[in-house]
Amino acid sequence: MALLSIKNLTIGYQTKEGILKAVDDISFELEKGRPLGFVGESGCGKTTLGMTLMGLLPDNARILGGSIGFQNKDLTQLNEDQWRKVRGKEIAMIFQAAMNALNPVMRVDEQVIEAIVTHQPEISPNDLENRINELFDLVEIPRARMKDFPHEYSGGMKQRVIIAMALACNPKLIIADEPTTALDVIVQDQILKEIKIIQQAMDTGLIFISHDIAVVASVCEDICVMYGGQIVETGTKQEVFASPRHPYTKALLGSYLSLDNQASVIIPDMREAPDLTLKSGSCRFAVNCKRCSRACKIGIPHWANISKTHRVLCCDETITGKTNE
Amino acid sequence: MSKLNPKKSPLIEMKGVTKEYTPRKQFFSKSQNKVLALNSIDLSIEKGEIFGLVGQSGSGKTTTGRLLVRLEAPTSGSIYLNGSPINRLKGASLKAYRSKVQMIFQDPYQSLNPHLSISDTILEPLVVHGIGNASAQREKVLHTLEIVGLTPSNDFYDRYPHQLSGGQRQRVAVARAIVLDPDFIVADEPTSMLDATIAIQLFKLLTDIRKKFDMTFLFITHNLAAANYLCDKIAVIHEGHIVEVNTTDKIIHHPEHPYTKKLIQVQPGFNFGGRRG
Amino acid sequence: MLKTHYIRRFLKSWKIFIQNPLGKTGVIILTVFMLMALASFIVPHINPMYDPMTGIDPDIRVSTGPSLTHFLGTDNVGRDLFAQLLEGAKVAFIVGLSSAFFSIVIGTVVGMVSGYAGGMLDAFLMRMADIIMVMPSLVILLILASLFGQFNIWIIVFIIAIMRWPAVSRVIRSQTLSLKQRPFIEASQVAGASHLRIIFRHIMPNVLPLAFLYMTFRVTSAILVEAALSFLGFGDPSQVSWGMMLQWVWKSGHMFQAPYWLIPPGLSISLLTLAFYLLGRAMDEVLDPRLRKEGQS
């Protein structure tokens, strides 16, 4: 049974130019044991998606349609009081640059305690102490440093505290939104390894959002590639990264720089920032796509199954068909 | 690259450069007297090179860039441009130096004055150095806009930063850096705030500029893979020390220093083989 | 290029400003008083009897109430009160706007130079500002007035400006300090721009909106200071101001007998300062987008 089941979700922002669809009719399912990665660049909607899953959309954003099935509830229907019971307890989030979210005048352990006690006010002092120790051990922060202030911690340690706070109440689902973007490469490596270990040890569902495809590939099993508010390709990481179908996925992979892929770097000719005001159902990538035909401009891209798990959203037959180009 | 002059002196040289900061006392911190951002570093950049300076935050890489453009002065040590020392330059000679050494800043959203049009921003270096009359300056700016790919140039001429995307703003920053035909450009993490698909287009622009103008770059980055893609030589900097300098190929494939090796090891990578194209 | 940009931005700000109920009210009140001030130039020419200082209605010897010939009535020597009120509006605007303007100019320049230069210059200028700020301006003015006798209106304007620039400079200075760190300032330095150029071309346009905002507050305080001075008898004797009117109604013993004489100047002072205050509040909204309501840009 899927832990999280999203169907036809659409989220819009009210602006003076009209409604901007940041997320346009997306559907996917999350299995507990298979971390799911969302990869895409600015304007793709992945951060909006993350915020929606925590009920943290700003005032001018609205869920325009669709459902979010989680633990026999539809999260799109929750009011703020109901969200408060879910947030932190059942679904927890690790934000980008979350280390700036720590209160500078409060000791670190007190902040984690606060996270626990908010959702478990009746916890006994003994249990609380055990839990704190457990958490700090889990994120590999020495117990001797538990009573320090945030500014005495390095960036990596602060991020680990944030992870500890997210795990404090044994959530069923963790949403990590660019958790390592602000960290050094060496620290990032450690944190990513820890996230993987923790996810497996605690058997939580994990949604990992990032613009960095390698980071997503190192943590997740399944991938959703997002562009302009739509999921344009999805599948296992092997399928999506080794045999990408959608032109955007290919552009993303072609722009990726690693230490050994000089030859396969392809410079895309893309304009920045997708146009989110296009009418629903039209292909948002068309303006950048070299294969864009007249059919693409007027047609509605549809889902084509490449395999049981690999799907791509496109109008073009050569892309969706099983034939090679 | 003349064979007649085998001992050609490098374009930029840093010898024993040290930079110390004495921070103001902070409320909660334990007493710290000095912060050593750079500890006696040596660097040598040849003309026409794209030289990479790779380090993580706090390593001193940004400080190095700032010293080279004289936003700050070294505490000790010397910096040379074409053999002449630049440490003590003041007034007119400092201004002359500025026309030869320019910088591309990291944040495209903060490095352009929001009240000035694109043309005003790119005109400023020309105006400040009194180069050409008004129509010659206008021509130069339009020409530069075309070089950096902001076309039609008349259109971009009158626009304002808030009307441009991040990648376009960075191109304006590049235009401002090259408009004076400098000898040397410091690019301080020019793509770290851009999407990957846009960043790579900017890299292409930089290599095109290097080819076209025989331009010399110092490319400062935390991303070893980007340095690998762009640079001829790489210097790895860590906690104010240069731990290793070599050609890109040697650094990536035959690293010697343990820190370099560690950096290479933790590069997130994935290899599924298969086509990308 | 720069001009059209400023004009466009001004119009955009104006739209937001005028949608704000505070701004609307402020502008309406202000317009009324401005018309009054302008009218004060014309009125004495209609009939010399209406000259606020010297015009005396030959038929009237005592203070009278409102009538058709004298909308507000006359004072105790037969001068038209409405004409005096109009002249008072003119004086209020002159004093208010000029002294505010001068204090802004001085305060902005000092603030920018202080913030940008830092070091000893900054310390020196800010100490001077502190010293002036703690001096009770009204008391100083009174002392000076009692020493030198009555003041010409421009001396009053000047002294108010001198007393008031420090508050402006502090705000502008902190704005400058934060701007100084912005990369586009450093980019100009790297391009070779001189300090003067950076201050006036890059920093000033960014602090100017704040300076104008503060100007509205300065105007209210300047008007009040002038009114107080005049009321106490130290105003410029060649001008009729509202404070002066209040002084006359008091001195001539008509305070409780002639409400038509007492109320208009007092009310005018309150309304005009209120108008400027409302303007300032509305401008706040223009400058800080977070204060705007949904649906506005």
**Which chain B positions have a beta carbon within 8 Å of C183's beta carbon?**
105-107, 110-111
| Segment A206-256, tens digit of pLDDT | 999 999 898 999 899 999 999 988 999 999 999 998 889 888 998 898 888
Q: How many Cα neighbours within 13 Å face the side chain of A86?
A: 22
Judged by a CB distance cut-off of 8 A, whether residue C293 touches chain A is: no
B24, B70, B116: best to mutate for the C interface, most C CBs within 10 A: B116
Find the residue in A nearest to C297 (Cα).
A16
Write the secondary structure of chain A as one string of H (helix), E (strand) and C (coil): CCCEEEEEEEEEEEECCEEEEEEEEEEEEECCCCCEEEECCCCCCHHHHHHHCCCCCCCCEEEEEEEEEECCEEHHHCCHHHHHHHECCCEEEECCCHHHHCCCCCCHHHHHHHHHHHHCCCCCHHHHHHHHHHHHHHCCCCHHHCCCCHHHCCHHHHHHHHHHHHHCCCCCEEEEECCCCCCCHHHHHHHHHHHHHHHHHHCCEEEEEECCHHHHHHHCCEEEEEECCEEEEEEEHHHHHHCCCCHHHHHHHHHCCCCCCHHHCCCCCCCCCCCCCCCCCCCCCHHHCCCCCHHHHHCCCEEEECCCCCEEEECCHHHHCCCCC
| Segment A85-115, tens digit of pLDDT | 888 889 998 887 776 788 888 999 899 998 8
**Which chain A positions have a beta carbon within 8 Å of B223's beta carbon?**
185, 257
> Which is higher by pLDDT, C59 or C111?
C111
Contact assignment for B111 to C189 by CB distance below 8 Å: no
| Segment A169-217, tens digit of pLDDT | 889 999 999 888 878 888 888 889 888 888 888 888 999 999 989 899 9
| Calpha distance C104→C168 (Å, rounded) | 6
Q: Decide if A284 contacts A229 (C-beta within 8 A).
A: yes
Range A53-58 average pLDDT: 89
Find the residue in B nearest to A273 (Cα).
B165
Contact assignment for B268 to A264 by CB distance below 8 Å: no
pLDDT value for B95: 92
Q: Decide if A234 contacts A26 (C-beta within 8 A).
A: no
| Calpha distance C89→C101 (Å, rounded) | 18
pLDDT value for B274: 39
Buried b (16+ CB within 10 A) or exposed e, B199-222: bbbbbebbeebbeeeebbbbbbbb
Judged by a CB distance cut-off of 8 A, whether residue A92 touches chain B is: no
Among C12, C16, C3, C9, which Cα is nearest to C283's? Answer: C16
**Which chain A positions have a beta carbon within 8 Å of C297's beta carbon?**
16
Kindly report the nearest CA distance between residue C189 and chain B, in angstroms: 8
Chains touching C by CB (3 or more pairs below 8 Å): A, B
Range C19-35 average pLDDT: 85
How many residues can be counted in chain B?
A: 277
- How many A-C residue pairs are in contact by the CB < 8 A criterion? 5
**Which chain C positions have a beta carbon within 8 Å of B110's beta carbon?**
182-184
**Which chain A positions have a beta carbon within 8 Å of C12's beta carbon?**
none
Q: Look at residue A233 and tell me if it is in a domain.
A: no
Supply A7's token pair.
Answer: 């169907």
Contact assignment for B268 to A192 by CB distance below 8 Å: yes
How big is the CA angle at B204 (ends B199 and B207), to the nearest 5 degrees? 125
Q: Look at residue A189 and tell me if it is in a domain.
A: yes
**Which chain B positions have a beta carbon within 8 Å of C1's beta carbon?**
117, 119-120, 158
Parallel/antiparallel/unpaired status of strands B101-104 and B184-188: parallel
Strand pairing partners for B184?
B101, B216
**Which chain C positions have a beta carbon within 8 Å of B125's beta carbon?**
191-192
| Segment B35-83, tens digit of pLDDT | 889 999 999 999 999 999 999 988 999 999 999 999 999 999 999 999 8
Indicate which CATH number applies to the domain containing A95: 3.40.50.300
**Which chain A positions have a beta carbon within 8 Å of B172's beta carbon?**
none
Q: Which residues 6+ apart lie within 8 Å of A76 measured at CB? A: A9, A63, A66, A67, A68
Domain that residue A131 falls in: 4-220
- A52 and A177, same domain (yes or no): yes
**Which chain A positions have a beta carbon within 8 Å of C294's beta carbon?**
14, 59-60
Contact assignment for A264 to B274 by CB distance below 8 Å: no
**Which chain B positions have a beta carbon within 8 Å of C191's beta carbon?**
98, 102, 124-125, 128, 176, 180
Query: To the nearest whole percent, how much of chain C has pLDDT over 90?
Result: 17
Closest by Cβ to B125, choosing from C191, C194, C205: C191
pLDDT value for C46: 76
Chain A, residues 44-103, CB within 8 A of chain C, namely 59-60
Q: Look at residue A268 and tell me if it is in a domain.
A: yes
- A151 and A275, same domain (yes or no): no
**DSSP state letters, B71-138:** SS--SEEEEEETTEE-TT--HHHHHHHHTTEEEE-S-TTTSS-TTS-HHHHHHHHHHHTT-S-HHHHH
- A60 and A133, same domain (yes or no): yes
Domain boundaries in chain C?
A: 21-46+78-288
| Segment C143-184, tens digit of pLDDT | 877 777 767 778 888 888 888 888 889 989 999 998 988 899
Q: How many domains does chain A have?
A: 2
- A74 and A120, same domain (yes or no): yes
- A15 and A113, same domain (yes or no): yes
pLDDT value for B2: 46
- How many A-B residue pairs are in contact by the CB < 8 A criterion? 116
Q: Residue C260: pLDDT band by 50, 70, 90 thresholds?
A: confident
Kindly report the nearest CA distance between residue A82 and chain B, in angstroms: 36
| Segment A25-44, tens digit of pLDDT | 899 999 988 999 999 988 88
**Which chain B positions have a beta carbon within 8 Å of C188's beta carbon?**
113, 124
pLDDT value for B102: 96
Q: Residue for token digits 């399928």?
A: A239
> Would you say residue C64 has pLDDT above 90?
no
Judged by a CB distance cut-off of 8 A, whether residue C295 touches chain A is: yes
Query: To the nearest whole percent, how much of chain A has pLDDT over 70?
Result: 95
Contact assignment for A254 to B277 by CB distance below 8 Å: yes
Contact assignment for C294 to A16 by CB distance below 8 Å: no
Q: What average pLDDT is seen over chain A?
A: 85
Kindly report the nearest CA distance between residue C204 and chain A, in angstroms: 30
Q: Topology of B12-266 in CATH? A: Rossmann fold (3.40.50)
The contact set of B with A (CB < 8 A) is: 28-29, 56-57, 165-168, 195-201, 204, 222-226, 228-229, 252, 262-264, 266-277
Q: Residue C220: pLDDT band by 50, 70, 90 thresholds?
A: confident
- A11 and A150, same domain (yes or no): yes
Chains touching B by CB (3 or more pairs below 8 Å): A, C
Kindly report the nearest CA distance between residue A51 and chain B, in angstroms: 21
Residues of chain B with pLDDT under 50: 1-5, 273-277
Chain A, residues 226-255, CB within 8 A of chain B, namely 237-238, 241-244, 250-255
Domain boundaries in chain B?
A: 12-266
Find the residue in B nearest to C203 (Cα).
B113
Q: Residue C4: pLDDT band by 50, 70, 90 thresholds?
A: low
| Segment A139-152, tens digit of pLDDT | 888 888 899 998 88
Q: Look at residue A85 and tell me if it is in a domain.
A: yes
The interface predicted TM-score of the complex, written ipTM, equals 0.87
- A202 and A161, same domain (yes or no): yes
Find the residue in C nearest to B118 (Cα).
C1
pLDDT value for C290: 55
Q: Topology of C21-46+78-288 in CATH? A: MetI-like fold (1.10.3720)
Q: What average pLDDT is seen over chain C?
A: 82
Kindly report the nearest CA distance between residue B97 and chain C, in angstroms: 9
- A82 and A150, same domain (yes or no): yes
Q: Look at residue A238 and tell me if it is in a domain.
A: no
Among B7, B177, B211, B54, which Cα is nearest to B104's? Answer: B177
Contact assignment for A256 to B195 by CB distance below 8 Å: no
Range A41-60 average pLDDT: 89
Angle, to 10 degrees, between the axis of helix C81-117 and the axis of helix C259-287? 30
Q: Look at residue A75 and tell me if it is in a domain.
A: yes
Contact assignment for B99 to C192 by CB distance below 8 Å: yes
- How many B-C residue pairs are in contact by the CB < 8 A criterion? 59
Kindly report the nearest CA distance between residue A50 and chain C, in angstroms: 24
